[in-house]
Amino acid sequence: MSEPLELVVSAPPHIRAKETVSGIIGWVILALLPVTLMSVYVFGLYAAKIIILSVGTTVLTEAAIQRLRKIPITIGDGSAALTGLLLALILPPKVPWWIPVIGGFVAIALGKQVFGGLGYNVFNPALVGRAVLMVSWAELMAQSWLSPLGRLDAVSTATPLALMKQARVGLAQFHSAYYYKPLLFTNPGGCLGEVSALLLLVGVTILLYKRIIEWRIPASFLGTVFVLSLFTKTDPLFQVLAGGLLLGAFFMATDYVTSPMTSRGALIFGTGCGFITVLLRCFSNVSEGVTYAILFMNALTPLIDRYTMPRIYGKGKRREKSSS
């Protein structure tokens, strides 16, 4: 018999793919960096303040709650920071300092940790934070816009979507084509993350290339908005570019935890998001519908997953097995 060796014994597989949770989250944060930097460039200190406060609050809240629950602190995986960054990107630039703080706290505490932390939350935490802010401080959230670049002194302007809505009832003049260029490069009024559609798409390209997000949810989301816009007689291209739809479709609706895992489920989810977005934008008294659309579909995700499970190899139609 040979000398005993100290060998590691574990269950297979003995090799692993290189991707890790923190690595994936890191890539998403990296993909958001171009638009984040642009927002700081355009809105200056306003943006920097919101981003720092929001990220700081989410990370601290996560650590504090995990400390209270006496469970390992997992701020190192980056998910809390990502929630903070996403929340900052869907806030208007001129909100007071306590808005991102309250939003960040709500996002992590009510949006994530009450459910048990990463992987167990039903709703997208950043959107939960924003929804709470929108119903609690509606005016602040609807009026703290800035006209960027050189006109920083100018007081609030309306967002293009709000203008479109006013135009539909004859309150304002509105030419959607006028906004293509600003929306792509520097948005005349909107949240931090809506500052440039083009830079957002730079990040999206990275995520699609790294296969961190799949095409199904954003494609069905944007496609549905585009097609339905034709029916509601609004400019489809404008609808797609405006109001944080791109940010929502590529970075929020694709959140692993709160979106369906099956391929067919992803298509249903995206289509549903698109449908509700257009419904809210055109037929409700809120000007912008992406947040509620995604939150609503988040709630349906367990159901969608359940009814779109793939057929198992060697089995007939899938059913909740009890007999055989």
Partner 1 sequence: MVKIARWGTYLPETKEKTSGRLIEDASLPSEVVIPLCQHIGAPCDPLVEKGDRVLIGQKIGDTEAFCSAPIHASVSGEVIGVEPRPHFTGDCLLSVVIAPDGKQESVEFAGVSGKLTPQKVRCAVREAGLVGLGGAAFPTHVKLCPPEGKSIDSVIINGCECEPFITCDHRNMLEKTDLLLDGLRIIMATVEAEKGYIGIKMNKLDAIRKVEELVAGEENVKVARLDTKYPHGAEKQLIKAILEREVPSGGLPMDVGALVHNAGTTIAISEAVREGKPLTERVLTVTGPGVKNPKNLRVKIGTPIGHLIEECGGFEGEPGKVIMGGPMTGFAQFSIDVPVVKGTSGVILFPRDQVKITPHDPCFRCGRCIRACPVFLIPNFIGLYVERDMIDKAEAYSVMDCIECGLCGYVCPARRPMVQYMKYAKGKIMARRKKIS
Minimum distance between the CB of residue 277 and partner 1, rounded to whole angstroms?
23
For partner 1, which stretch binds (CB under 8 A), given 11-19, 83-91, 148-156, 226-234?
A: 11-19
Dihedral of CA atoms 174, 175, 178, 182 in degrees, nearest 10, equals 40
Place of tokens 């469970």: 71
Does 127 participate in binding partner 1 (rule CB under 8 A)?
A: no
Distance from C-alpha of 57 to C-alpha of 55, rounded to nearest angstrom: 5
Binding mask 13-42 toward partner 1 (x if CB under 8 A, else -) reads: xxxxx-xxx-xx------------------
Minimum distance between the CB of residue 97 and partner 1, rounded to whole angstroms?
31
Minimum distance between the CB of residue 78 and partner 1, rounded to whole angstroms?
11
Minimum distance between the CB of residue 110 and partner 1, rounded to whole angstroms?
19
User: 3-class SS at 113?
Assistant: helix
Does 314 participate in binding partner 1 (rule CB under 8 A)?
A: yes
Q: Contact at 8 Å (CB) between 239 and 281?
A: yes
Distances from the Cα of 172 to the Cαs of 87, 164, 167, in angstroms? 30, 8, 5
Q: Which of 78, 111, 117, 129 binds partner 1 (CB under 8 A)?
A: 117
Q: What is the DSSP string of 44-104?
A: THHHHHHHHHHHHHHHHHHHHHHHHTTS---GGGSHHHHHHHHHHHTS-TT--THHHHHHH
Minimum distance between the CB of residue 193 and partner 1, rounded to whole angstroms?
22
Does 186 participate in binding partner 1 (rule CB under 8 A)?
A: no
Pure H helices in the chain: 21-43, 45-68, 79-89, 98-109, 125-136, 138-143, 160-168, 180-184, 197-209, 216-231, 236-241, 245-247, 263-283, 290-307
Does 173 participate in binding partner 1 (rule CB under 8 A)?
A: no
Does 120 participate in binding partner 1 (rule CB under 8 A)?
A: yes
Which residues ranging from 247 to 286 are in contact with partner 1 (CB under 8 A)?
Answer: 256-257, 261-263
φ, ψ of residue 153 to 5 degrees: the values are: -75, -25
Does 313 participate in binding partner 1 (rule CB under 8 A)?
A: yes
Binding mask 72-101 toward partner 1 (x if CB under 8 A, else -) reads: --x--x-x----------------------
Q: Which of 135, 173, 283, 322 binds partner 1 (CB under 8 A)?
A: 322
Nearer to partner 1, 104 or 265 (CB): 265
Residues 6+ apart with CB under 8 A from 297: 253, 259, 269, 272, 273, 276
Nearer to partner 1, 17 or 177 (CB): 17
Site for partner 1, rule CB under 8 A: 1-2, 4-17, 19-21, 23-24, 74, 77, 79, 117-120, 256-257, 261-263, 309-315, 320-322
